[in-house]
Structure 1
């Protein structure tokens, strides 16, 4: 695009990119509001967890490969494909009456996770240099703000319409984003390259992890010594081992496991994984706790809209906490910023472990979790910037994104499994099977312990002066 075009068309281009990112954010957040309803309808907390897990596993694979495919074939073409699939997946879930259909649709929706890194790359491609920082900030802010709106909108659908409308709205927003992208976004030129895309390495880990998680989900029903459990679990472990072997020997791997030989990268990503496994499950735990009927002895009986509104403060404090974490990382290094964030996380989850029966106290814990997560997730990219050469920052932050999303998927199923260990139902109170009090207690305790383990991993990071990395700290990490 000519420079004059970049100067005159940037507003319509940004309109298209913002609409695409709103569609992506809605796919992530709106489904959480429906989890208590799905518990009541399908009466199997472990299988309902796949509504979140299936999305996140596909999201991890999409994040791994779509940036590279966009470089080769054109980011705008890939973005159009992602929005088509997101709309199709939402429509499948909206029209489904079975849990299997909803989960399949959610898996297709998972490709929407690739929209954000593609939008960052498209900003660089289509916006003049002077406006790039502003426009990247707009896209990043849209991701956070739209996710918060999605929580509330999902609650409104549950309270006043039906759960199907969550996915009808997601379909409509994805179609709107698609039309605006087609209308206003210039066609990207692909880059000719003889280098083959490591698609196998980018996607093979997802079915391996899914197989392991599904074997664990069905193990109690099938029997832990049942051939189905053993073959599925064992075969998935073999597939995961093959993936690690394949990537370690690939000349240009999409997910370069050899990077973990660097102590700072290894410990930083371990912290990322532990936070994703535990603290990032807050929405899944929160919406169930707040909306669960009071007759269960642990639920707070809130409407879905009110429960979503209670989470909004965590999004608001993140607006301040994340930049503050970046300032701390710039002055004292990412290690100290990460430890500050983990302090808030440990405090919040330990408090919930001790007490979670009053709305105001849960709201206080929401704020602590929001502060801690925002600081920690601004600290990890800074730790990466400190440890790698400038030309490899995008590659390594992309790897970290895959790790975070994969472990969020594992954590979602871990919480669903914990919720299924002890359940409560009462036909006199209506249909539905819900997690019992001890299941919530175990979930809170598990997440608290994962946060404590994150502290030990952060303490194992080398003490490093930021020095020359300060300039890079200010730049948003993204796939290009």
Structure 2
């Protein structure tokens, strides 16, 4: 690298990482307006969010493996190029199908964060790499909150298409910067086989589960198409499980579930992701509703998500201090309870904007605390050589929770409403169901992991946070203190 490129590498990586924020902010707040513009039902429009998350969930482990070698720059170009193409397709779409396809392509951009972390780890001094990786994690959390009101403001004044054109422009700049600063690793690494078959099976299985969740209110929960698709989806997921246990380089290593901590982290990550997305979709729609909602603009709806994103980033940095005073089980469980309290407040009030903001602040505190602590739980429990695989598994589980939450949100609103139409009571009832999910997550994180050994308790919390972020990028940290396996 030239000296100028060396100086610019950190801000360039941060900007590339920020593409996650832009992609995420082009989702939930825009859905009600997209439904109006394209004359589509809100349940069908929800696939403009769900498709992005499904692609991100499947692509994340594949992109991480393809990019952890000499083809890293090509993988970056393909992912960020897909974001640009997807945003252009969404901006030009005059019907729902092309828009959903464009949004699906944008999901590849959400899978690129590990490669930015890998580039920092491979080409920067260790101390600088740790700071950059920590900064990237904040960009991925707090940046999302800043992206929501910005894209909402653009959509309010220029329409939904203008928001996607903004995404295309940011994606194009990210593509150029990524090709400039992201280089392949200096060492030769074993190239793992890509589990394309496993990715295909789980993708089809997940979609076959999500479609009946979307259509069950219209077709009937016991109708033949709904039951057939549910059965087919669950059957394919069972086949995928069998395949993953037998293949040499699986998409996710299910054998790691033998560790109670890994089982806890994946179950809690899925539940928390499910909870987060149901609540997020419910609130941004409620804020924009003219009938019994708050009747606010897309900008204001996006603004309500800022406390969640900003506070989740703040709490991730506060984790070492929290763990110096409390056990990791207490930290995770209290985070889940905070999410439940936020949902409870929305379910019992939901009459003023300030109440929604406080609700999302509580959710942000809870999500940031829990999601930041879960990687540490994995790092403490598994041998160093299994950390990368275990963290990859956790990332996929969390994305699966996001996808299920996105698919379930509108279905719950309609199912609990009047004649398939959401009502004020259905919004409040859905929020109260989320309270139950938050409490369930708290119970899982308190009782399932078991008690850590003395050696595990002695590990500094900062190593848990750092190793969690490094391992999510498919990296190993040779400086981590030894831990025992459970």
* Fold-level similarity (TM above 0.5): yes
Distance 2:101 2:187 in 1: 31
The residue aligned with 1:366 is: 360
SS at match of 2:294: coil
Map 1:50-449; keep pairs closer than 5 Å: 50-186=47-183, 191=188, 193=190, 195-224=192-221, 227-293=224-290, 296-297=291-292, 299-421=293-415, 435-449=422-436
Distance 1:314 1:415 in 2: 18
The 1:178/1:195 distance shift into structure 2, 3 A limit, reads closer
Shift of residue 291 of structure 1?
1.1
Map 1:30-45; keep pairs closer than 5 Å: 30-41=26-37, 42-45=39-42
SS at match of 2:305: helix
Which range moved further: 111-120 or 124-133? 124-133
8 Å contact kept, 1:70–1:76: yes
Shift of residue 331 of structure 1?
4.9
Residue of 6, 20, 27 corresponding to 1:24 = 20
8 Å contact kept, 1:57–1:406: yes
Distance 1:424 1:226 in 2: 20
8 Å contact kept, 1:329–1:335: no
8 Å contact kept, 1:43–1:434: no
Partner deviation per Cα, 1:369-415 (whole Å, 9 max, x = no partner):
11111111111111111111223222211111100001110111100
8 Å contact kept, 2:343–2:434: yes
Show structure 2 runs of 5+ residues with no match: 475-486
SS at match of 2:307: helix
Residue of 455, 470, 473 corresponding to 2:464 = 473
The 1:205/1:329 distance shift into structure 2, 3 A limit, reads farther
Shift of residue 222 of structure 1?
4.0
8 Å contact kept, 1:347–1:368: yes
The residue aligned with 1:452 is: 439
The 1:138/1:7 distance shift into structure 2, 3 A limit, reads farther
Which range moved further: 279-288 or 118-127? 279-288
The residue aligned with 2:450 is: 462
8 Å contact kept, 1:18–1:139: yes
SS at match of 2:249: coil
Shift of residue 226 of structure 1?
5.2
Distance 1:130 1:317 in 2: 25
TM-score, scaled relative to structure 2: 0.89
Which range moved further: 447-456 or 274-283? 274-283
Distance 2:181 2:266 in 1: 38
Which range moved further: 115-124 or 190-199? 190-199
Distance 2:162 2:444 in 1: 42
Distance 1:150 1:188 in 2: 31
TM-score, scaled relative to structure 1: 0.90
SS at match of 1:469: coil
Shift of residue 440 of structure 1?
0.5
The 1:325/1:27 distance shift into structure 2, 3 A limit, reads same
Shift of residue 468 of structure 1?
4.3
The 1:69/1:194 distance shift into structure 2, 3 A limit, reads closer
Matched, 1:14 2:10: yes
8 Å contact kept, 1:70–1:190: no
8 Å contact kept, 1:10–1:126: no
Shift of residue 187 of structure 1?
5.0
The residue aligned with 2:483 is: none
The 1:69/1:213 distance shift into structure 2, 3 A limit, reads same
